Structure 1
Amino acid sequence: MPDHLNAATLLDLARRAEARAPGPCACTKTPLDGWQSQPLSLDETRFREIGTLMPEDDPEPTFAEYLPGKVNYWSTEAPIAPRYFPYNRCGVWECSSCGRLYLRYTEGGGYFVDRRIRALRWTLIEDVSL
């Protein structure tokens, strides 16, 4: 199982990754600044999981979302709050081509499963309590 990453560690990793890879990425043609269904064109062999935001001692993390103001789940400016849904169910993945970090989780509904992905931007990380 991947190592659990707290908000401080996540922030540090995200800052370093963005400093190494400031320009656009060729990993995908689909912008991933906000949550997206994982593009079929994404080459998964380029990615390796470096950690998880899943709480170590909580088998069923909250479904509460942290969306202040008028921002919504799909917004590119939605905060990344590791203790809240969907971040508390995410793996943190690194692209071996560009070094960028991405958050990934699987959204499950009654009749579907949707693998979702979002680029990790350090400026959006907020360590807020439940």
Structure 2
Amino acid sequence: MTVDELKSLADASAAVTQPCACAIDTYREWTRVPVDFPESHMRTVGTLVDDPYGEPTFAEYHPDGTTSWSADAPIAPRHYPYNRAQVMQCTVCGRCALRYVEAGGYYVEPRIRALDPRLIVDVPAPD
């Protein structure tokens, strides 16, 4: 998915005002997917994985001192963890979110973050 396509989905998602069980609009920072999240309402609309056979960078993009857990952290598609994310859309309300699986030493944890058009940045991948 291109950055322009991502921004277009983000703009449409931000325009949704109706309440929904997905509550995607409340996941402003990366959040563990709640147990009661309505998975059956979600569909995959794209991916930010550039090359499924390559190893994407683990470099993050935080020029203003944010962290992955910051609600105002930039959404940089060519940087971690966005470069491992799928773009999901709720089939009930139309909101979009990013989703990836954090894989630690002894666990895996699905995470979700609302797609906020104000935070999407188009910066090159690090070398």
TM-score normalized by the length of structure 1:
0.89
**What residue in structure 1 maps to residue 67 of structure 2?**
72
- Alignment of 1:32 onto 2:30: no
User: CA, structure 1 residues 75+28, in 2 after alignment: closer, same or farther (shift >3 Å)?
Assistant: same
**What residue in structure 1 maps to residue 5 of structure 2?**
9
Q: Whole-Å Cα distance in 1 between the matches of residues 39 and 99 of structure 2?
A: 12
User: How many residue pairs align between the two structures?
Assistant: 125
Deviation per residue, 1:12-64 (Å, 9 max, x gap): 11112222x03554314993110001000101000000000000365211100
Moved over 2 A (4+): 22-26, 28-31
- Alignment of 1:119 onto 2:108: no
User: CA, structure 1 residues 61+29, in 2 after alignment: closer, same or farther (shift >3 Å)?
Assistant: closer
Asked if the contact 2:61/2:76 (under 8 Å) is kept, the reply is: yes
User: CA, structure 1 residues 102+30, in 2 after alignment: closer, same or farther (shift >3 Å)?
Assistant: closer
Identity %: 46
TM-score normalized by the length of structure 2:
0.91
Correspondence for 2:41 among 19, 39, 46? 46
User: CA, structure 1 residues 105+57, in 2 after alignment: closer, same or farther (shift >3 Å)?
Assistant: closer
Q: Whole-Å Cα distance in 2 between the matches of residues 92 and 49 of structure 1?
A: 6
Q: Whole-Å Cα distance in 2 between the matches of residues 128 and 106 of structure 1?
A: 23
